[in-house]
Structure 1
Amino acid sequence: MNQQHDDDEGAGRPTTLRITVARSGGVGGMRPSWSVTASEEPEVDSWLALVESCPWPNHDGSVGPGEADRFVYTIRVVIDPEQHPVEERDATVPEGSLAGPWAELVDRVKDASPRRPR
């Protein structure tokens, strides 16, 4: 009986969450990227809470004066729930605006991303 209740609570929750962060700009013009995929419930919930804390609709991605040669981060989140359409979120965040939840999200994705050989 409890199993049915647990299943009902999870209806519509994401089964897979993919986050990609790409950095562009700077002097070298390199464009490294990092990505992470979560598919286990506690991990998905943790990532989703961080994603939800970011100010998605209020961020215009504009670069302020003196930031032309600084890094710009492109953040893409794909939330793939089992019974609903896929939700995608994109943001472009200049380095000067990378604070609070944006900085935490970028740092956490970088830390969790598998290391690539150089």
Structure 2
Amino acid sequence: MDVIVSRSGGLAGLWVTWHVHVDEQPDRDDWYLLIRELPWEEPLPVPPEPDRYTYRIRCEPHEATLAERQLTGPWRTLVDRVQERSEPERGRPANGSDRTRPPSSRRPRRGC
């Protein structure tokens, strides 16, 4: 299972993406429990907040987009854990106007 966290926004509008392969983690059972407890269907629509971060969290078949202020509880725990376990991939949107698509991942995705 792969967990991909992409952060966009801020003053420069850069993308930063972290990618963790859960099955390669020594505490993978803890990862699975955390991912199962996430309220995938509950995040509210992300209101526009200029110069603030937006997080896109993907774990096939799930995906959630949260504003920086929505990143609390188990969402914050997951993002912190992913950021601790992987090196960030940095990028800028391809045409400067598309801030909704992160750089593509280096490895193919696997489902949850």
When normalised by structure 2's length, the TM-score is: 0.70
Q: Secondary structure at the match of 2:69?
A: helix
User: Does structure 2 conserve the Cα–Cα contact (< 8 Å) formed by 1:61 and 1:91?
Assistant: no
The structure showing larger relative contact order (alpha-carbon pairs under 8 Å, at least 6 residues apart) is 2
Paired amino acid for 2:51: D
Q: Give yes or no for the alignment of 1:70 onto 2:52.
A: yes
Measure, in 2, the Cα distance between the counterparts of 1:47 and 1:73: 19
Which of these residues, 84, 89, 92, is aligned with residue 111 of structure 1? 84
Q: Secondary structure at the match of 2:44?
A: coil
Q: Secondary structure at the match of 2:87?
A: coil
Distance of aligned partners of 1:21 and 1:115 in 2 relative to their CA distance in 1, 3 Å threshold: closer
User: Does structure 1 conserve the Cα–Cα contact (< 8 Å) formed by 2:56 and 2:66?
Assistant: yes
Deviation per CA, 1:46-73: give whole Å up to 9, x if none.
1111112211111133226xx3320000
Q: Which residues of structure 2 form unaligned runs of 5+?
A: 91-112
Q: Secondary structure at the match of 2:29?
A: helix
Which of these residues, 1, 12, 21, is aligned with residue 28 of structure 1? 12
Measure, in 1, the Cα distance between the counterparts of 2:32 and 2:45: 21
Distance of aligned partners of 1:44 and 1:27 in 2 relative to their CA distance in 1, 3 Å threshold: same
Q: CA RMSD in A?
A: 2.2
Measure, in 2, the Cα distance between the counterparts of 1:27 and 1:61: 22
Percent of aligned pairs with the same amino acid: 38
Larger radius of gyration: 1
Query: What's the counterpart of residue 14 of structure 1?
Result: none
Measure, in 2, the Cα distance between the counterparts of 1:45 and 1:77: 15
Measure, in 2, the Cα distance between the counterparts of 1:29 and 1:40: 31
Query: What's the counterpart of residue 62 of structure 2?
Result: 89
Q: More helix per residue: 1 or 2?
A: 1
